[in-house]
Amino acid sequence: MILLDSLAGQPIWLAILISLLVSIIIAIAGILPSTFVTAANIIYFGFEGGLALSIIGEALGAIISFFLYRKGLKKLSEKSSGKRNLKLLDRLKGTSGAEAFVLVFLLRIFPFIPSGLVTLAASFSKMGAAAFMVSSTFGKIPALLMEAYSVNAVLGWEKEYQLAAAAFAAIAAVCYYYWTTRRKKRRI
């Protein structure tokens, strides 16, 4: 919120540039959630403007990530190869053409599948860059609509409910972290 307050009175292009850069960084990192950027965009630019900027930012981030991953960031695949991958992600690595297009589109629609994994799998597939750009962007639109409506609803809540939701999300994240690390230790 401090960043949003400091942008008040500044040229709008500066806020747009910051939003796009943060979206691109989040996409390149591959594991960070973009929900906070969507929330900031909705607060600063309104629902429609914030949603449009989030779509553009996520599309640019996915496209740039696709090219970076394809250029040689194969160490990321080594990190994820030890993890249990979804069958659709494994299948995407060996596909091309219309099948790869549809798989990327479908994987982008599901908001709980990390975008970074989809981009990584697509970058190692035989899929062309143009097909990835179109399917990724169009697949992201329904997911971002759901995210934006959820964020907008939470922003309409009273502060106490927002704090309770944030506390619940933090506790759930910590529990999930400990649960997954405990499962990994049991496997070893």
pTM of the model: 0.69
**pLDDT given at position 64:** 92
Q: Per-residue confidence at 55, pLDDT binned at 50, 70, 90?
A: very high
pLDDT in tens, 168-182: 877 887 887 788 777
Q: Could you report the per-residue pLDDT of 133-149, keeping only the tens digit for each?
A: 998 889 888 888 888 88
Buried b (16+ CB within 10 A) or exposed e, 54-88: bbbbbbbbbbbbbeebbeeeeebeeebeeeeeeee
Instruction: Give pLDDT tens digits for 57-94.
Output: 999 998 998 888 887 755 545 555 555 555 655 666 66
Q: Do 109 and 142 contact (CB within 8 A), yes or no?
A: yes
Residue 3 has pLDDT above 60, yes or no: no
92 and 107 Cβ atoms separated by less than 8 Å: yes
Mean pLDDT of 98-125: 78
**What would the mean pLDDT of 161-172 be, rounded to a whole number?**
79
